[in-house]
């Protein structure tokens, strides 16, 4: 089974959790896209809250009705991918630069299900570079504060994410700094330190947010709680 087969199996399993009448948070990334496709195929009467412009576009193409987060009182179920799944369902997210909207939708959700291929499970978070969303104004100075924090946590300094078109800009108009790979020994303390920096909008550590994980493996989809 390829990693993509595993992502698809997890996405399809998650689509089975959805019932008509639900408000559903739609994650971002290739695994979440499998979920969105499987959900659209079920033709349920639901409304989706997209976590990125890219997911909104895909959902619209597939005929899923969309609603803005601020136009609903609550989200019943959010299904989203992750870059790493660590102990106690701690996560790194934001590889697709959508961490801010993702976290806002997750935090408004009654139930959050993370879907992934087997390679995303790790014993400790940090091999995947932790994304941090930073406002553009003064970002070089913010980057220096982040480098100080990285040093405190025995991590290497973060770097601004670039593509061939220049600095990566998020849907919210901010930048992404990626922490260099390392072992994050104290995710909660790191999360708190990152949030304390003026200029940091949010970071990709999702702690105590996932209720369960559906992980595609060669032996089938495994449910973790």
- List beta partners, residue 131: 178
Residues 67 and 23 sit within 8 Å (Cβ to Cβ): yes
From 69-77, 80-88, 136-144, 181-189, give the range in contact with ligand 5RP by CB under 6 A.
80-88
Residue 45 or 181: which CB sits closer to ligand 5RP? 181
CB of 93 to ligand 5RP, least distance (A): 3
CB of 180 to ligand 5RP, least distance (A): 17
> Vertex 81, ends 192 and 78: CA angle to 5°?
85
Q: What is the dihedral of CA 24, 28, 32, 37, to 10 degrees?
A: 70
d(CA 154, CA 165): 32
- Candidate list 14, 24, 98, 194; residue touching ligand 5RP; CB under 6 A: 98
Report which of 111, 20, 100 is spatially closest to residue 65, judged by C-alpha positions.
20
What single-letter DSSP state applies at residue 172?
T
* Residue 78 near ligand 5RP by CB under 6 A: no
Report which of 137, 176, 177, 135 is spatially closest to residue 156, judged by C-alpha positions.
177
Known binding residue 142? Answer is no
Instruction: Compute how many residues bind ligand 5RP; rule: CB under 6 A.
Output: 18
* Residue 84 near ligand 5RP by CB under 6 A: no
- Candidate list 56, 99, 132, 155; residue touching ligand 5RP; CB under 6 A: 99
d(CA 102, CA 206): 10
Contact positions with ligand 5RP (CB under 6 A) in 159-198: none
Angle, helices 30-42 vs 3-15, to 10°: value is: 40
Known binding residue 82? Answer is yes
Instruction: Report helix, strand or coil for 148.
Output: helix
Identified catalytic residue from 84, 102, 107, 192: 102
* Residue 129 near ligand 5RP by CB under 6 A: no
Residue 12 falls in the annotated catalytic set: no
Q: Which residues are catalytic?
A: 102
Q: Which residues bind ligand 5RP (CB under 6 A)?
A: 27-32, 80-83, 93-99, 102
- Per the annotation, binding residues are 28-31, 80-83, 93-96, 120
């Amino acid at each position: 089974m390829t990693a993509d087969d595993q992502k698809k199996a997890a996405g399809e399993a998650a689509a089975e959790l959805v019932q008509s009448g639900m408000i559903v948070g739609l994650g971002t990334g290739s695994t979440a896209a499998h979920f969105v496709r499987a959900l659209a195929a079920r033709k349920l009467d639901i409304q989706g809250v997209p976590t990125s412009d890219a997911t909104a576009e895909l959902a619209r193409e597939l005929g899923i009705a969309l609603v803005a987060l601020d136009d609903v009182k609550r989200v019943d179920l959010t299904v989203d991918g992750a870059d790493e799944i660590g102990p106690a369902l701690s996560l790194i997210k934001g590889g697709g630069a959508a961490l801010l909207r993702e976290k806002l939708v997750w935090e408004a959700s009654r139930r959050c299900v993370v879907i992934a291929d087997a390679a995303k499970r790790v014993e400790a978070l940090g091999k995947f570079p932790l994304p941090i969303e930073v406002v553009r104004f003064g970002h070089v100075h913010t980057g220096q504060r982040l480098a100080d924090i990285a040093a405190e946590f025995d991590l290497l300094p973060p770097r601004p994410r670039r593509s061939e078109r220049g600095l990566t800009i998020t849907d919210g108009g901010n930048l992404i700094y990626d922490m260099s790979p390392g072992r994050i020994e104290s995710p909660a303390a790191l999360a708190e330190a990152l949030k304390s920096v003026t200029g940091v909008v949010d970071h990709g550590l999702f702690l105590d947010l996932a209720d369960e994980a559906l992980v595609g493996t060669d032996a089938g989809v495994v449910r973790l709680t």
